[in-house]
Structure 1
Amino acid sequence: MFYSLVAWGFFYVRLVGQPSSQNYAGISIDSYGEVMVLLAASSVAYRMAASRTFRGWKTLSLKRRVVMWVFCYIIPYHAMINMNLIGYIPWLNVDLGGFEEVNANAGTYVVFTIVGIGAVFLVFTLSRSLYRAGTWKKCVVMYVVMVTSVLVSWALFPSTSFHLHHTMLGAFIIPITAFPTPAAAFSQAIGLGCFVQGYARWGWYSYLDTIPTYMTIAVPENAPNTTNVSSSGATVVWEPLGSEEAVEAYSLRLNRVEVYRGVDTSVVISNLEPNMTYFVGVAGVASWGTDGRVGPLSNFTTLEI
């Protein structure tokens, strides 16, 4: 059952949840080899934690085991392999990963508070289980060695930034969940889901990242304004970005297509279709020609003829 979950989750993310392209034949061919590496790594996780968790369930009744499997393992596992869907909840406004800035709102803080309380409870429960089992010293030594090695490698490359991928986070969680309790099983399923989803979608990358050049370019804080709208054109005006922010020009995007590139902060767009809605956004352009991220979007509708 454990290895079936791993294999299912891997192929689900690769082919259904987050396919990297529409070349499903090519994705499938590559996946048959890569899933073997994942299963090999998962066997270590099974021996370290999952086997002890499932062994403790053998004394439970059939009804209790079904409840544990469904609510403490299958549901949280599938929630994690579908974590990319969280980014599509409009009112939540959460970006899962990368260097993007998150404009959090009230819903975001409520959800983060609930998740934080749950995480604190799970940490407390797992810590108590480790203490009672007498294995907490081994875990502390293991994580201290791991953190020390990370810090040493980071010190060797100080120009990089530290990025803890959720694939690694899942791998770090699993070893301390070797208990048959509901909290341990729930935590283990979350860790396994993070590990499988991250590996299937992104692979195994280093925790030392080099920040992309475009991320260092300033981003407009406000959406551009549109005036003098007619049936075939409009004037778009936006706020300038300071030269100290590495921006020397601007790129105006109309429905994600660049229609202007230059130093002005206003432009007249022509040859538009009547009675059609357009979305506009501005990105800064650095002195070396690289485009930054597009700022907030605004929209306008051309007049009818």
Structure 2
Amino acid sequence: LLPLCFVLYVVWKSAVKRTLENGSPIAKVILWYPTFWLGISNNVTFDRLPVDRLTTTDLKEQAGALTAVGSIAATILTCAVIQAYSLWKSGRFKKYFKIYICFIGGLIALGSLPGLNLRIHHYILGSILVPGCATRGSSAYLFQGILVGLILSGVARWDFASIVETDTALLRGEAGASLKPPILDFNDDQNHSLSWHLNATDPVIDQIGNIDGFSLLLNDVEVYVGKNETVSIDVLRMENPALAQMMDDALDASNGTIDLYLRVARASVRSPTNRGDYTNAGVLQWPNGMWQKPEPGVS
């Protein structure tokens, strides 16, 4: 709370005070306060736009993301031009131009840090843009209200999130954030067995010694955890009667063959929760042993 109070104090001294102090009460009620609540209610207003992490992957995968980002950029640019004109009329354009050149230079420097991604969170966007609204007039009321609302909304929901984040942090626990899985192998001569091997650059044990084995999923049920790099489905059936019964029941209900969806990941043989990323599913047609290799990537 104290850091937020400090930020709001700086925002007040640098921009809001000039706009609201001795301003028209009617303008405040009609222009500033409604847009303030529009910004502070960001979770039900702007968050409905298909824009999340502003990563290349998200922009490609989310429908309408590019259009939304383009619209947001065009809106910000239009507002910036309007406020630049207001600052020019007040005789302070050169001062704020230098300030924003410093802001842009700082963002470029942060964005160029190796292994880190620049993240313009809501509170950062509001904090950067609100000084440019330190003017009087209807445009300042409108823009300033939204920006102050975004600062409060962003900090309230996500705290002071870092302006730079690693690739792993950016994934938020999604597939791709953990250790890469091994590569699945299949031998037609042993078509009831599944093998895998590590990439040549991957260590057998991770740096802190937690990941020292493998986990095998069969139809999204973990059926094996251990250090072997080859597993026989027949052996798993003998060791796990419940698995054998499940497969037999599925065979009885089908036309004599069933599809087994198999995924493998790096894992700890001691901890049931410590797992890396799983491969995409390879499909083994049981019991005739027809194999369909998995798609590249992780799941």
Q: Per the shorter chain, which TM-score range?
A: 0.5 to 0.7
Which of 58, 69, 79 is the matching residue for 2:41? 79
- Unaligned 5+ segments in structure 1 are 1-33, 87-91, 220-239, 275-280, 297-305
Normalised to the residue count of structure 1, the TM-score between the two structures is 0.53
Give the equivalent residue in structure 1 for 2:9. 43
**1:292 and 2:277 are equivalent in the alignment:** yes
Q: What is the match of residue 123 of structure 1? A: 80
Cα pair distance change 1:106/1:96, threshold 3 Å: closer
Aligned-pair Cα RMSD in Å: 4.9
The reply to whether residue 55 of structure 1 matches residue 40 of structure 2 is no
Q: Deviations over 1:229-258 (max 9, x none)?
A: xxxxxxxxxxx9x96997x9786597xx75
Residue 271 of structure 1, CA deviation? 4.5
**What is the CA-CA distance between 1:142 and the residue it aligns to?**
2.0
After TM superposition, the structure 1 = structure 2 runs for residues 1-305 of structure 1, keeping only pairs within 5 Å, are 34=1, 36-55=2-21, 57-58=23-24, 62=26, 64-75=27-38, 77-80=39-42, 82=44, 85-86=47-48, 93-96=50-53, 101-104=58-61, 106-149=63-106, 158-212=114-168, 214-215=176-177, 252=217, 259=222, 271=246, 285=265, 291-292=276-277
CA 1:253 to 1:139, structure 2 compared with 1: closer, same or farther past 3 Å? farther
SS of corresponding position for 1:57 = coil
CA distance in structure 1 between the partners assigned to 2:123 and 2:278 by the alignment? 26
Percentage of identical aligned residues = 16
Counterpart CA distance in 2 for 1:210 and 1:259 is: 30
Structure 2 residues without counterparts, runs of 5 or longer: 170-175, 182-195, 205-213, 238-242, 251-260, 269-273, 282-299
Equivalenced residues, count: 225
Residue of structure 2 equivalent to 1:11: none
The structure number with the bigger radius of gyration is 2
Tell me by how many angstroms 1:206 deviates. 3.7
Q: Secondary structure at the match of 2:136?
A: coil
Alignment partners' CA distance in 2, 1:100 and 1:171: 27
Shift of 1:150: 5.4
Q: How much does 1:215 deviate?
A: 3.3
CA distance in structure 2 between the partners assigned to 1:99 and 1:52 by the alignment: 39
Q: 1:125–1:216: structure 2 CA closer, same or farther, 3 Å change rule?
A: farther
* Contact kept in structure 2, 1:215 and 1:293, CA below 8 Å: no
What amino acid maps onto 1:203 in structure 2? D
d(CA) in 2 for partners of 1:115, 1:253: 45
Q: Distance in 2 between matches of 1:253 and 1:112?
A: 41
